[in-house]
């Protein structure tokens, strides 16, 4: 098979000593960047991009892809140990990762996250290797109505994410949606909700600023109130045997892992959605279909596995439209796309023919980077457990500084740092008053996309809402829309039938 030949050729390129070294350095940096609250892969790749100018493009993309991969693994680490997601892609990992850590099972959760990431990444890379060109063809069929339908379906699956009170979930969601409308309105071109004419609102509210504020700063405020004593002592028994036992345990969740990986890959492949919604969708679907549904949120291994396999799968999926169509599938791939142009490469189907070295070298390196990342992440676990034992008096200031850097770096605007602290205060009160945080972050991530695709669709259809339900013109959109209607309807109907409590 021609693809296999190409793949071995690519692996050969990726395994050359200098490329292997690039991948290793990239993965280690990536895990570290990902583990630091606020410094996600977007910033990591953007900051380290100039370093790659000294090496050939193939080595450079291998380096960047390794950072991207490493950061996906690293993001889970602080989610689990500190309840502070290292990146927005790891927000869903806090749901069960942190409760596990509180129960003294931090090591199990960390191993699960690493292994699930590896599985998600690998499945996704295999799909990428064998089906990239036909999948690109498929991605082209997604215009504004189809994209809206995907987002709409995502809302349907999120209905299960909230806390105990549906009203509180609704309020948090609405606040997120409201914040997503701040900034420049793409359809009319005018600035909206620029409070007191503050320039910092022109670029809208960055979801990183909200996520770091709510989770990072908010968590620190909340912990400080509880006293400065160290968190619980964790058992740091981490040997090959423990790892093997956790992996054996994971076999029970094969379906969840497979479903999450496939879902992650496809959501990641669609432009603009990216790994964050993918991880949430995977989590809530796993929760809905799990036999141990009630355990979700209280610390279950399955609740860590589901989002982690999906976010890694999505990060590979996001590379596909970047290389084949020249459009980024996630914020990080947008930066990488910029790098492609800097190196003088033109994305598109011809890249696969004219720059075969580059494409197959990258594909080969994805396998290598994924394998390296799982090893680095596993080896780093004892270190992170050690870090956890540090008293909060030392940990809290360090985290606050890293959060501030994370809030500053995307826009280099001090206003975003102030905004982040403001959201920290909101995060504190949300915790006090038992409001869920996740729906707010999610609504902000998806709000802009929802509004944009909805309005673009209506402009195209000249105001007719029928565009979303038109099976002949937009079969994909129509199918997805009816599916979402069903996901919304099921809980409501079962509520009225009195079989189940209304679960939002």
Partner 1 sequence: MNSRNWTRRFTHLWIVALALVITAAWSLPSAEAAWKPTRPIEFVIMAGKGGGADRIARLMQKIVTQNNWSPQPLVPINKKGGSGAEAMLYMKSKQGNPHVILVTLNSFFTTPALRKLPVSYKNFTPIYRLAMDTFLLWVNKKSGITNVDQFVKAVKAKGGKWTMGGTGKMQEDQLVTNMLSQAYGLKGLITYVPFRGGGTVAKNLAGGHLDSTVNNPAEGLPHTPNKMVPIAALTPKRIPAFPNVPTFAELGKPSLVYFMMRSINAPGGIPAGATKWYSNLFTKLCNSDAWKTYTKKKALNRACLTGGPLASFFADEDVKHKKLLKGMGLIK
Q: Measured from the CB of residue 353, what is the shortest distance to partner 1 in angstroms?
A: 13
Q: Which of 334, 404, 420, 426 binds partner 1 (CB under 8 A)?
A: 334
> Residues 327, 356, 396, 485: which binds partner 1 (CB under 8 A)?
327
Size of the site for partner 1 (CB under 8 A): 53
Does position 247 interact with partner 1 (CB under 8 A)? The reply is: no
Instruction: For the CB of residue 276, give the shortest distance to partner 1 in the complex, in Å.
Output: 16
CA 357 to chain centre: 29
Rounded to whole angstroms, how far apart are CA atoms 462 and 376?
53
Q: Please enumerate, as own/partner, the contacts of 353-359 that have beta carbons within 8 Å and a separation of 24 or more.
A: 356/6, 356/9, 357/13, 357/58, 358/57, 358/58, 358/61, 359/10, 359/323
Q: Among 16, 456, 479, 494, which residue sits at the site for partner 1 (rule: CB under 8 A)?
A: 456
Indicate whether 412 belongs to the interface with partner 1 (CB under 8 A).
Answer: yes
Q: Which of 348, 400, 482, 490 binds partner 1 (CB under 8 A)?
A: 348
Residue in 462, 498, 499, 501 binding partner 1, rule: CB under 8 A:
462
* Nearest distance, CB of residue 477 and partner 1, angstroms: 11
Among 328, 407, 427, 436, binds partner 1 (CB under 8 A): 328
Residue in 56, 166, 297, 338 binding partner 1, rule: CB under 8 A: 338
- Closer residue to partner 1, CB minimum distance, 10 or 183: 183
Of the candidates 143, 166, 297, 382, which one interacts with partner 1 according to CB under 8 A?
143
Footprint of partner 1 on residues 65-124 (CB under 8 A)? none
Closer residue to partner 1 in complex, CB, 308/413: 413
Q: Which of 144, 162, 274, 307 forms a contact with partner 1 (CB under 8 A)?
A: 144
In Å, what is the CA distance from 278 to each residue of 99, 270, 310, 332, 379? 22, 11, 6, 15, 27
412 Ramachandran zone, left/alpha/beta (phi>0; psi -120 to 50) = left
Q: Select from 126-134, 137-145, 170-178, 354-362 the region that touches partner 1 (CB under 8 A).
A: 137-145
Contact 336, 68 (CB under 8 A): yes
Q: Which is nearer to partner 1, 338 or 382 (CB)?
A: 338
Could you give the CA distance from residue 5 to residue 20 in angstroms, rounded to a whole number?
20
Are the C-beta atoms of residues 110 and 246 closer than 8 Å to each other?
Answer: no
Contacts of partner 1 in 285-324 (CB under 8 A) = 321
Of 220-228, 299-307, 345-353, 493-501, the segment contacting partner 1 by CB under 8 A is: 345-353
Give residues 161-220 in contact with partner 1 (rule: CB under 8 A). Answer: 183-184, 186-191, 199, 201-204
Nearest to 246 by CA among 302, 306, 310: 302
C-alpha distances out from residue 385 to 158, 233, 379, Å? 31, 9, 11
390: left (phi over 0), alpha (psi -120 to 50) or beta: beta
Q: Decide: helix, strand or coil at residue 184.
A: strand
Residue 86 token pair: 């290292």
**At 308, is the secondary structure helix, strand, or coil?**
helix
Contact 111, 378 (CB under 8 A): yes
Looking at beta carbons only, is 147 or 302 nearer to partner 1? Answer: 147
Residue 20 touching partner 1 (CB under 8 A): no
- Judge whether 86 and 79 are in contact, CB under 8 Å: yes
Point out which residues pair with 183 in neighbouring strands: 192
- Measured at the alpha carbon of residue 99, what is the angle toward residues 97 and 439, in degrees to the nearest 5? 70
| Window 253-292: residues binding partner 1 (CB under 8 A) | 271
* Closest to 286 (Cα-Cα) out of 312, 261, 268, 269: 261
In the block, tokens 């006293």 appear at: 227
- CA atoms of 450 and 467, how far apart (whole Å): 15
Q: Which of 18, 21, 141, 247 binds partner 1 (CB under 8 A)?
A: 141
- Stretch near partner 1 under the rule CB under 8 A, chosen from 117-125, 259-267, 312-320, 332-340: 332-340
Nearer to partner 1, 345 or 374 (CB): 345
The least distance separating partner 1 from the CB of residue 416, rounded to whole angstroms, comes to 11
Contacting positions for partner 1 (CB under 8 A): 42, 46, 49-50, 53-54, 140-144, 183-184, 186-191, 199, 201-204, 271, 321, 325-328, 331, 333-335, 337-339, 341-342, 344, 346-350, 411-413, 452, 456, 459-460, 462
């Amino acid at each position: 098979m021609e693809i296999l030949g190409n793949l071995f050729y690519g692996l050969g390129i990726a395994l050359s000593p200098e490329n292997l070294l690039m991948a290793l350095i990239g993965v280690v940096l990536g895990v570290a960047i990902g583990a630091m609250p606020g410094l996600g892969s977007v910033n990591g790749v953007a900051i380290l991009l100039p370093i790659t100018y000294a090496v050939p493009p193939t080595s450079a993309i291998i380096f960047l892809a390794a950072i991207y991969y490493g950061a996906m693994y690293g993001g889970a680490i602080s989610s689990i140990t500190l309840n502070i997601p290292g990146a927005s892609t790891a927000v869903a990992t806090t749901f069960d990762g942190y409760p596990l850590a509180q129960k003294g099972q931090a090591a199990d959760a960390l191993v699960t996250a690493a292994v699930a990431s590896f599985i998600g990444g690998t499945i996704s890379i295999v799909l990428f290797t064998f089906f990239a060109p036909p999948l690109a063809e498929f991605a082209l069929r997604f215009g504004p109505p189809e994209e809206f339908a995907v987002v709409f379906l995502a809302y349907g699956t999120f209905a299960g994410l909230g806390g105990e009170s549906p009203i509180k979930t609704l309020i948090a969601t609405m606040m997120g949606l409201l914040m997503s409308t701040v900034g420049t309105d793409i359809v009319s071109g005018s600035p909206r909700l620029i409070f007191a004419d503050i320039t910092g609102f022109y670029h809208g509210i960055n979801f990183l600023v909200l996520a770091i504020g709510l989770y990072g700063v908010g968590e620190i405020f909340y912990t400080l109130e509880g006293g400065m004593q160290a968190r619980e002592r964790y058992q740091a028994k981490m040997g090959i045997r423990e790892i093997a036992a956790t992996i054996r345990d994971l076999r029970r969740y094969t379906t969840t892992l497979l479903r999450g990986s496939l879902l992650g890959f496809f959501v990641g492949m669609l432009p603009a959605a990216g790994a964050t919604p993918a991880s949430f969708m995977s989590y809530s679907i796993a929760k809905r279909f799990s036999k141990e549904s009630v355990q979700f949120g209280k610390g279950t291994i399955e609740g860590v596995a589901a989002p982690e396999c999906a976010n890694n799968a999505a990060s590979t999926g996001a590379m596909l439209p970047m290389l084949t169509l020249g459009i980024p599938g996630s914020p990080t791939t947008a930066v990488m796309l910029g790098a492609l142009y800097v190196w003088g490469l033109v994305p598109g189907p011809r890249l696969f023919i004219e720059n075969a070295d580059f494409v197959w070298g990258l594909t080969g390196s994805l396998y290598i980077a994924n394998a390296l990342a799982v090893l680095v992440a596993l080896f780093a676990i004892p270190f992170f457990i050690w870090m956890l034992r540090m008293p909060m008096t030392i940990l809290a200031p360090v985290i606050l500084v890293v959060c501030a850097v994370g809030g500053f770096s995307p826009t280099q605007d001090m206003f975003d740092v102030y905004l982040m602290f403001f959201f920290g205060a909101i995060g504190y009160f949300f915790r006090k008053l038992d409001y869920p945080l996740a729906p707010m972050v999610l609504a902000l991530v998806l709000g802009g996309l929802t509004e944009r695709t909805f309005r673009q669709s209506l402009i195209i259809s000249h105001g007719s809402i029928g565009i979303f339900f038109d099976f002949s013109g937009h079969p994909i959109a129509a199918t997805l829309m009816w599916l979402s209607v069903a996901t919304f309807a099921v809980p409501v109907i079962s509520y009225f039938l009195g079989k189940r409590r209304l679960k939002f």
